[in-house]
Amino acid sequence: MRTTTPRCCLMLTAAGSLIAAAASLTPAGAQDACGAAPEVPTHHHLPANAETVHWGYFSQQRAPQLFVHSGDLVTLETLTHHANDDAERMVEGDPGAESVFAWSADAKGVDRRGAGPLDASIHGRGAGEGFGVHILTGPIHVCGAAPGDVLEVEILDLAPRPSGNPEYAGKTFGSNAAAWWGYHYNDLIEEPKPREVITIYEIDASGARDWARAVYNYRWVPQTDPYGVVHEIIDYPGVPVDHSTITRNHPILSGVRVPIRPHFGTMGVVPREADVVDSIPPAYFGGNIDNWRIGTGGTMYYPVAVAGGLLSAGDPHAAQGDSELAGTAIETSLTGLVRLVLHKEGSLAGTPLEGLDFPLLETEREWVVHGFSYANYLADLGETAQSDIYGNSSVDGAMRDAFRKMRRFLMTAYGLSEDEAVSLMSVAVDFGITQVVDGNWGVHGVLEKRIFTAE
Amino acid sequence: MRTTTPRCCLMLTAAGSLIAAAASLTPAGAQDACGAAPEVPTHHHLPANAETVHWGYFSQQRAPQLFVHSGDLVTLETLTHHANDDAERMVEGDPGAESVFAWSADAKGVDRRGAGPLDASIHGRGAGEGFGVHILTGPIHVCGAAPGDVLEVEILDLAPRPSGNPEYAGKTFGSNAAAWWGYHYNDLIEEPKPREVITIYEIDASGARDWARAVYNYRWVPQTDPYGVVHEIIDYPGVPVDHSTITRNHPILSGVRVPIRPHFGTMGVVPREADVVDSIPPAYFGGNIDNWRIGTGGTMYYPVAVAGGLLSAGDPHAAQGDSELAGTAIETSLTGLVRLVLHKEGSLAGTPLEGLDFPLLETEREWVVHGFSYANYLADLGETAQSDIYGNSSVDGAMRDAFRKMRRFLMTAYGLSEDEAVSLMSVAVDFGITQVVDGNWGVHGVLEKRIFTAE
């Protein structure tokens, strides 16, 4: 059955062809590109276009698009991979998006989409097979970063990317796909079953209005891509939707204002376990965590797994609920301003980051640990991890992992005994369901900082 | 192994002896006790003492302790079943608590504790076997309530019950037990393993201070109850802890202030499926939901399952985190002020309560649906449900149930199509883990009311 098609069928073997696909600057040249750290931090700008993004995977072999020193600022453009659900609103007139989504009968702006084979020999969906779907800007090589270090990413701002189409000046749009990988898909009550539905939302591009509204929705119908492949379901990212084939329903969700919570759905460093990794399942290296708290004012800490760390970000969201139930958020292009700070392994002892082996979020008021069905599915599930993870999704597993991580954090960061940590967790820590749609499902534990006084 | 002892081994057969244990007023006399509704709502006071509480079970055969009409107010005293963890602070000098916890070599203030056999013929722990642990005040018969109706319980106030011991004037205490039914118990990292730990917390009895602090903790050691039964673990509620046998550790959790969130851990109506029901697993009738949001300002809606509804409340908590990880909250006696409003079945059409078949919470800002591993485990698991539920606990099941309930609520209360409901859930509803310690584990879905405008 189509709905049980595995998202990814890769073994943990190298996909050498990626090297050819990447730009000419390879990690071997990293030291030269770093040079000495300047006295004043540099503010970089990394745009999103067909050259600076990679689509659907993390890879050690993808050449860095930027070299930064600890303390540098980066204005980081990110694009939603759902922009072609309504290209008129989310692609047209935006040169960066147009370059990424370009797709004619002869060529694509970005060919590989996913960690699958470039020749689409498994399902024939397209290069990369859509085993991984997120447009990721980067990676960013952090000079001096080495395995064992921790990379801090402070999110100073996240702004909606205005529509490039003059007809929609001052507006930003996003797409919510209730898709075949959604939690609801095999559990529908209305006919026809199953079905995939795209809902287009509108956001105020100035950021002044703190809510989104639905504009219209439509049911997915088979789409033929420019290469002639028919996509019966949403099985390959960036397929242009021919709006002459679909029926727009409106008004919908009348009077509904969705509070916006802009965040990066996906941000992380490159894992060490495989050369090319599907962007969908999150794990110790971060990635597609899909926690709406990873927004402005939030600071992420990632354990560095490869030289340079190689940070990428994308999958920008205007709003998402805990669980991301239907499979996606309001998928909306955003531009972030982030500060990157490298914490060398030798400096971590006695700090909350000591021995950190998972992605940790700090906000003004909270610490948030991230648990997953498998803490490191790439190692835990062996050579077939990237396909097997989709059959082993479990909130129960993620809760177990989140419990262990919160206990460890309380004992490390605040010096509690296990008995103190367990009691405090029971009376004061909230565990929530991050997502149930990314293969490696997530549970987060939220600890309020105000609990700890200087007393 | 002791830690895998099932909590409850009852079949869904009547325990006729309960009738004898109950007061003389049986449900058959309910109509007479109701009379005509007065023009002005009555304010009742239901104290907590050995007569007004039942311990560890819900039962259709337990005689009502109070008859009220729709709209009446009730000041409702509730006692924590953990008070004997430190009787000096939580029982002594409090006549109500003393009458409930009274236990000499010859008699107990409240004999039955749990839904098990009165002769303790299964494990020998004591009457009721501790298959259910909560001290519940009630039940309250709501005049005119019938199956199909919905009972609304508005919590107007929840105040700490001051220590009755003059030595602790102005203070209230609570106990947190990290016990064998806790989520952590078989997953400990420090020695000795396993172990149970009681932490005593102190709260300001005036309610002015919004945090609790830990006073000391101790490891559970075998306790011999006044009948001579040795309790190697915390396997029977209300066993008096002999403080000459334990070692108090302090200071603990120095500088930690636990934000208080007073709430009823357990409140609900009597289910229809069995005569005597273990108080631990929550389900459609409410019961031991253990959601800290069920506090002052909150309104619960319960589907009435038996004549009169028969509402009881107890298991009061000063604070709890989502998950109630170690098995308990800060278990603290509280006195509530509640208003009971009956919504007859015929009045529900077109309201958010239409067809309600689960416990629903409304607060000023939110609607909260409650999902469980099994929506109605008593029916879903058949005759051995009350023991089998403990082997079928699952957050995954509870998430599935919570999703279905939130979808249903959005479609019923706000008239959304399924497509609208699914999209809105994905972008705006937060799902959290209520508890992983009550057999029938819980997931709640939180919907913000501000999403819906008058537009």
Chain B CB contacts of A324 under 8 Å are 426
Distance in Å, alpha carbon of A403 to nearest chain B alpha carbon: 8
CA distances from B83 to A22, B89, B220, B237, B419 (A): 66, 8, 15, 10, 49
DSSP string, A422-442: HHHHHHH-EEEEEESSSSS-E
10 Å Cβ neighbour count for B16?
10
Tokens 């590109």 belong to residue = A33
Residue A455, pLDDT score: 58
Task: Write out the two tokens for A352.
Answer: 């909350």
Residue A206, pLDDT score: 87
A326 CB near a chain B CB, below 8 Å? yes
Instruction: Output the CA torsion sign for B317, B318, B322, B324.
Output: negative
Question: Do B253 and A430 lie within an 8 Å CB cutoff?
Answer: no
Residues 232-271 of A with CB under 8 A from B: 252-259
Helices (H) and strands (E) in chain A, counts: 8, 24
B199 CB near a chain A CB, below 8 Å? yes
Residue B455, pLDDT score: 57
Q: Is A305 helix (H, G, I), strand (E, B) or coil?
A: coil
Q: What b/e sequence results for A58-94 when a residue is b if at least 16 CB atoms lie within 10 Å of its CB, and e otherwise?
A: bbbbbbbbbbbbbebbbbbbbbbbbbbbbbebbbbbb
Cβ-proximal residues to B46 (8 Å cutoff; 6+ apart), any chain: B52, B65, B66, B74, B75, B76, B77, B137, B138, B140
Helix axes A418-428, A395-413, angle to 10 degrees: 120
Distance between CA atoms of B52 and B63, rounded to whole angstroms? Answer: 10
Cβ-proximal residues to A340 (8 Å cutoff; 6+ apart), any chain: A68, A70, A71, A72, A74, A140, A142, A151, A152, A153, A154, A311
Cβ-proximal residues to A6 (8 Å cutoff; 6+ apart), any chain: A387, A390, A391
Q: How would you class A338 by CB atoms within 10 Å of its CB: exposed for 0-12, middle for 13-18, buried for 19 or more? A: buried
User: Comparing C-alpha atoms, which of A385, A318, A281 is closest to residue A56?
Assistant: A281
Chain A CB contacts of B391 under 8 Å are none
Question: Do A430 and B432 lie within an 8 Å CB cutoff?
Answer: yes
Residue B10, pLDDT score: 35
B20 CB near a chain A CB, below 8 Å? no
Question: Do A422 and B327 lie within an 8 Å CB cutoff?
Answer: no
Distance between CA atoms of A358 and A376, rounded to whole angstroms? Answer: 9
Distance between CA atoms of B159 and B206, rounded to whole angstroms? Answer: 8
Residues 118-177 of B with CB under 8 A from A: 176
10 Å Cβ neighbour count for A119?
11
Distance in Å, alpha carbon of A198 to nearest chain B alpha carbon: 9
DSSP-derived secondary structure letter, A5: -
DSSP element (H, E) containing A299: strand A299-303
Question: Do A199 and B423 lie within an 8 Å CB cutoff?
Answer: yes
Higher-confidence residue of B35 and B444: namely B444
Under 8 Å between Cβ of B399 and B407: no
Under 8 Å between Cβ of B444 and A432: no
Distance in Å, alpha carbon of B77 to nearest chain A alpha carbon: 22
Distance between CA atoms of A287 and A302, rounded to whole angstroms? Answer: 10
Distance between CA atoms of A125 and A277, rounded to whole angstroms? Answer: 18
Residue A230, pLDDT score: 98
CB-closest option in A176, A394, A443 to B426: A176
pLDDT per 10-residue tile (average), chain A, 455 residues: 35 32 45 87 98 98 98 98 98 98 98 98 98 98 98 98 98 98 98 98 91 98 98 98 98 97 98 97 98 98 98 98 98 98 97 97 98 98 96 98 98 98 98 98 98 83
Higher-confidence residue of B255 and B2: namely B255
Residue B447, pLDDT score: 98
Span B190-209, pLDDT tens digits: 999 999 999 999 999 887 89
Task: Write out the two tokens for A276.
Answer: 């090319």
User: Comparing C-alpha atoms, which of B191, B194, B163, B190 is closest to residue B90?
Assistant: B163
A324 CB near a chain B CB, below 8 Å? yes
Cis peptide before A271 (omega within 30 of 0): no
Q: What angle do CA B144, B146, B150 make, to 5 degrees?
A: 95
Residues in chain B: 455
Residue type, B47: P
User: 3-state secondary structure string, chain B?
Assistant: CHHHCCCCCCCCCCCCHHHHHCCCCCHHHHHHHHCCCCCCCCEEEECCCCCCEEECEEECCCCCCEEECCCCEEEEEECCCCHHHHHHHHCCCCHHHHHHHCECCCCECCCCCCCCCCCCCCCCCCCCCCCCCCEEEEEEEECCCCCCCEEEEEEEEEEECCCCCHHHCCEEEEEEEECCCCCCCCCCCCCCCCCCEEEEEEEECCCCCCEEEEEEEEECCCEECCCCCEECCCCCCCCCCCCCCCCCECCCCCCECEECCCEEEEEECCCCCCCEEECCCCECCEECCCCCCCECCCEEEEECCCCCEEEEEEEEEEECCCECCCCCCEECCEEEEEEEEEECHHHCCCCCCCCCCCCEEECCCEEEEEEECCCCHHHHCHHHHHHHHHHCCCHHHHHHHHHHHHHHHHHHHCCCCHHHHHHHHHHHCEEEEEECCCCCCEEEEEEEHHHECCC
Distance between CA atoms of A176 and A327, rounded to whole angstroms? Answer: 8
Distance between CA atoms of B417 and B133, rounded to whole angstroms? Answer: 42
Distance in Å, alpha carbon of B202 to nearest chain A alpha carbon: 13
Span B218-257, pLDDT tens digits: 999 999 999 999 999 999 999 999 999 999 999 999 999 9
Q: How many CB pairs under 8 A join A and B?
A: 232
Chain A CB contacts of B212 under 8 Å are 427
User: Comparing C-alpha atoms, which of A325, A186, A208 is closest to residue A260?
Assistant: A208
Cβ-proximal residues to B29 (8 Å cutoff; 6+ apart), any chain: none
Span B21-68, pLDDT tens digits: 333 344 545 667 899 999 999 999 999 999 999 999 999 999 999 999
Question: Do A451 and B188 lie within an 8 Å CB cutoff?
Answer: no
CA-based nearest residue in chain A for residue B256 = A452
Tokens 């749990």 belong to residue = B114
Residue B8 has pLDDT above 70, yes or no: no
Distance between CA atoms of B175 and A237, rounded to whole angstroms? Answer: 53
Distance between CA atoms of B152 and B150, rounded to whole angstroms? Answer: 6
Distance in Å, alpha carbon of B342 to nearest chain A alpha carbon: 30
Cβ-proximal residues to B10 (8 Å cutoff; 6+ apart), any chain: B115, B116, B131, B274, B276, B278, B386, B387
Predicted TM-score (pTM) above 0.90 = yes
Distance between CA atoms of B354 and B372, rounded to whole angstroms? Answer: 20
Question: Do B394 and A396 lie within an 8 Å CB cutoff?
Answer: yes
What ipTM is given for this predicted complex? 0.94
Chain B CB contacts of A253 under 8 Å are 416, 420, 423-424
Cis peptide before A251 (omega within 30 of 0): yes
Distance between CA atoms of B67 and A201, rounded to whole angstroms? Answer: 52
CB-closest option in B176, B253, B425 to A426: B176
